Each structure stands twice: as C-alpha cells, then as structure tokens.
Amino acid sequence: MSHIDLSGIGYEYATADRAVVALRDVSFGVAESEFLCVVGRSGCGKSTLLNIVAGFLAPTKGEIRIGGRTVSGRGLDRGIVFQDFAQLFPWRTAQRNVEFGLEMKGLGRGERAQTARRFLELVNLESFAAAYPHELSGGMQQRVAIARALAYNPSVLLMDEPFAALDALTRDEMQSMLVHVWRETRKTVIYVTHNVAEAVYLADRIVVLTPHPGTLRAEIRVPLPRPRDVLSVEFLDYQKQVVSFLR
C-alpha cells in the first residue's frame, strides 16, 4: 500500500469572470520512503497540488490519504520547504529556526537544542547554529529550511522548487546533499520542480503534469543507481523521455 494516496484530485477557483480548473482528476500514489518528483511547466498546477497535499488548500474534488488516513488541513506528519529564502524567521538564529517545530511540540529546551544541532549537522551547518538567516547565503538558508522541516520528525517531506533560486553550482551541491539527507532519514518526499535534469537526478519516479487544466500526463520510473552520473547516456535518455511528455 502507498504511503501517500491521491485519488481524483481536482481544484477549481473562481476569477472575476470565470471558473478556472487548475487541476483535474490527478491520481497517484507515493510509496514509503520514495522520492517522487512532480515536473511541469509554470502554471501546470504543480505548486497548487503541493499546497493541497500540505493542507494549505482544500481540493474541490477527490481525497488524499496519508498512511491510510484521509487528511484535511495541515499536520505535523508533513514538513514543508518553500522556494523563497525568506521562509526562515529572520529574528531567530539558524538553530532557533530549526527548534520552532519542536517548541510547538512542547519539547524542553535541552532536547530541542540537541535535536536542532543534530539536524544542522545533517545539512553540514553545525558551525552556523548561532548565525541569523541574513548572515547566511541562499544555499545555507535553504539547508536550514530543510533541517527545520525535518527536525520535528514528519514522515513526509514536501518541497516546492527549493533550489530554483540558487545558482547552478550551488544547486548541484544542494541536490547531492538532499539525496544524502533523504537516504539518512528515509522520508517520503514529494518534490516539485520545472527542472527536468533535477528531477532525473533526484527522483525514484517522476510524475509529469501538463497545464490547462493540470492533468497527469505520464509517470516515469527512474531506476538508475545513486549517485547518478549526469553525463551518462542513460541519464540523458531519461531527460529526453521526460521532455517528450512536456512538449
């Protein structure tokens, strides 16, 4: 059985003069500890889909089950990382940012600090625990955001183009770091991106969405061994395959 099950998800919203269908009948499952990438052009509804899974939006059709239970609304079983660096709280140090979710869970000060340190270590930022977000580079801020989303131990990690605003070199480093983090923590990941190479590098399986309305176009399994060689023929073949569905 899948860890996450989306069945018949639809989302409509009204503008001034008409109703817009952002998503239509999107169904797929994500296995326990699977890394799933949702790929599509801007406007295909992939961020909307992630916001629905996160519980920020309620689907107008269909339902979502996580661990067999129908979910509505937010929950501590899901951690979220956004694209915008500004998601961190500027008035909290890196460590105190990571501690936020633990505070909400009511953990004591000592335990919070210890857990936060452990997750900062996981993203190689233990020496920046006392730094404020504005003192960190974009890549470092996103690593803090990942540590923060993992620290309170959700079983699902939702990521909305977290590396899209980074330069190409930093993005490459972040991707391999994320694979490492994912292998250490064994979270079930849904990762939204418009970057095909990124999806092929990261994913066990890729779901392609096409716009107007957002519908599921294809599912592609990527059984390449990790770490993946981005210059290999197989890697390029998978990229071509994904791109062919985006056309």
Partner 1 sequence: MSRPASRPIAGALIGAAIAAGIWESFARSGLFSPALTPSVIDILRSLAGMIASGALAVHVLATLGRILIGLAGSCLVGVPLGMLMGRFRPVERFFLPLVSVLSPIPSLAWVPLFILWFGLGNAAAIGLVVYAAIFPLVLNTWTGVRSVNRLWLRAAEAMGADPRTLFLKVVLPGALPFIIAGFRQAFARGWIAVVGGEMIASTTRGLGFVIFDAKEYLNADVMMGSLLVIGLLGLGFERLVFQTIERRSVGRWGMVRTGRG
Least gap, CB of 135 to partner 1 (angstroms): 7
Q: Tokens for 229?
A: 């060689």
Least gap, CB of 88 to partner 1 (angstroms): 8
Q: Give exposure, 3-29, as e/b (b: 16+ Cβ within 10 Å).
A: bbbbeebbbeeeeeeeeebbbbebebb
Closer residue to partner 1 (CB): 18 or 134 = 134
Closer residue to partner 1 (CB): 51 or 193 = 51
Closer residue to partner 1 (CB): 13 or 56 = 56
Nearest alpha-carbon partner for 192 in 70, 52, 62: 52
Taking the alpha carbons of 29, 33, 192, 93 in that order, is the dihedral positive or negative? positive
Least gap, CB of 158 to partner 1 (angstroms): 9
Least gap, CB of 126 to partner 1 (angstroms): 21
- DSSP per-residue codes, 97-158: HHHHHHHHTT--HHHHHHHHHHHHHHTT-GGGTT--GGGS-HHHHHHHHHHHHHHT--SEEE
Which residues lie near partner 1 (CB under 8 A)? Answer: 54-56, 74, 76, 78-80, 82, 84, 86-91, 100-101, 103-105, 132-135, 148-149, 152
Closer residue to partner 1 (CB): 20 or 104 = 104
Closer residue to partner 1 (CB): 55 or 213 = 55
Backbone φ, ψ for residue 196 (5° rounding): -65, -45
223: preceding bond cis by omega (within 30 degrees): no
Least gap, CB of 150 to partner 1 (angstroms): 11
